[in-house]
Amino acid sequence: TNSGGEIENPHKNVGRTIIISLGICVVLYLLVSLAVGANLSIEEIVNAKDYSLAEASRPAFGDYGLWFTVGFAIVATVSGVIASVFAVSRMLAMLTDMNLVPHRHFGMPGSIQKHTLVYTIIIAMLLTVFFDLSRIASLGAIFYIIMDIAIHWGVLRHLRKEVKANAAILITAIILDVIVLGAFLWVKAQSDMLVIWASLVGLALIFAGERIFIHQYQNEES
């Protein structure tokens, strides 16, 4: 979706690519789950929760399969991180051009996207210092669902007629997001309150910062 403006006929093809991508991911996840479940018992999966796929390859391919799976996972993780960093930095640059987020050069040369790329990497490094991968994933899930709710609500309130959006679909999406978010927060409240507190602090900083920035920008415009 970050490259929607560069896609031919984006109104049709973006939705199609999202559906196809989700379908491919579902099939791959099912195949991976089947492979792990066929080679490991439940107890073995629990004991090897962080590397269960690699462990599942050992009965079929031995140590070579284990190391191949580990190497493949490293490559996939690194490529995913790089893609995410560039996507986020590009989105931040776009929001900066739209005067929706603040920006400071701090003496750095180059375009805004290069600056946002640096900021994104620094934030990612700070997250890895203070949180493990499971907590980072949990924080990302919480922030993403809240962002999704906010976007759907904004479209429903302000852009529904302009973009010809279906109100029923938007409301359904919001309800489903709220259900998923509530269930996820309930689970985390039972096991890891740090994630919830970190999310609350992060959201408070984001909303407060955005409110101050937009208020100042509107005053400058007027």
* pLDDT the model gives residue 181: 94
For the stretch 3-36, pLDDT in tens is 555 667 777 777 788 889 889 989 988 988 888 8
Question: What's residue 1's pLDDT?
Answer: 53
pLDDT band, residue 222 (cuts 50/70/90):
low
Q: What percent of the chain has pLDDT over 90?
A: 24
Can you give the pLDDT at residue 6?
63
* pLDDT score of 72 more than 70: yes
Condensed to tens digits (0 to 9), the pLDDT of residues 114-170 reads: 888 888 888 888 888 888 878 888 998 999 999 999 989 999 988 888 888 888 999
Average pLDDT over residues 98-113: 77
Task: Please tell me the predicted confidence (pLDDT) of residue 219.
Answer: 73
As a whole number of angstroms, the distance between CA 51 and CA 44 comes to: 11
Q: How many CA atoms lie within 13 A of 75 on its CB side?
A: 6
Kindly state the tokens that stand for 143.
């922030």
What span, in angstroms and rounded, lies between the C-alpha atoms of 161 and 101? Answer: 26
Question: From CA 222, how far away is CA 220, in angstroms rounded?
Answer: 5
Decide if 89 contacts 116 (C-beta within 8 A). yes
Total-model pTM:
0.70
Q: What is the pLDDT of residue 5?
A: 58
Residue 69 contacts residue 54 (beta carbons within 8 Å): yes
Task: Give me the pLDDT at residue 176, please.
Answer: 95
Neighbours of 184 (CB within 10 A): 16
Which residue ranges make up each domain of the chain? 134-222
